[in-house]
Amino acid sequence: MNKILDNYGDRVKGHAWSLVYAIAAYTNLLEKYHQYFDDETIKYMISRVTGLLNEIGRFNSSLGTIAWANALAPALMHEYVRGLMEGGLGIDVVSKANEVLGELNKLKGEGSGS
């Protein structure tokens, strides 16, 4: 995935959903397997997630909300990841998670016709 984003990033970024899937792939690794990666690799994956979140924020707010929900999961589970994400994104993870939860609830309401 790194090679694809490095070599074809501009073309991939034109398809917002692909960015959500890339974020999900990185954050799945961070959430479930972070103990197998060294600090530099974890920092690199978080920098990728950070860049992708910034990029997707330019496209579609609904997709951005979904991307943020994926991205915050490992930060809420692992203190080390949380610290790196807070530093890289300049956010408080718990506050951002509450904000994203509110946005997800709104999306749910829109989808159900409420």
- Six-digit token string for 10: 């501009």
pLDDT of residue 103: 92
Q: What are phi and psi of 58, to 5 degrees?
A: -85, -15
Residues with Cβ within 8 Å of residue 52, at least 6 apart in sequence: 19, 22, 23, 26, 67
What is the Cα 37 distance to its own chain's centre?
18
- Domain assignment of residue 105, given as a range: 2-111
DSSP symbol at 15: S
Say if pTM beats, i.e. exceeds, 0.85. Answer: no
CA dist., res. 6 & res. 66, Å (int):
23
- Six-digit token string for 41: 């690799």
Residue 34 CB: number of other CB atoms within 10 A?
16
Residues with Cβ within 8 Å of residue 67, at least 6 apart in sequence: 19, 20, 23, 52, 53, 56
Task: For residue range 9-54, list pLDDT tens digits in order.
Answer: 555 555 677 888 999 999 999 999 988 999 999 999 999 998 888 8
> Structurally, how many domains does the chain consist of?
1
Among candidates 4, 92, 99, 103, which has minimal Cα distance to 60?
103
What mean pLDDT comes out for the span 1-15?
57
pLDDT of residue 61: 74
Calculate the alpha carbon distances from 94 to 42, 69, 103 in Å. 20, 12, 14
Task: For residue range 48-77, list pLDDT tens digits in order.
Answer: 998 888 888 777 678 889 999 999 999 999
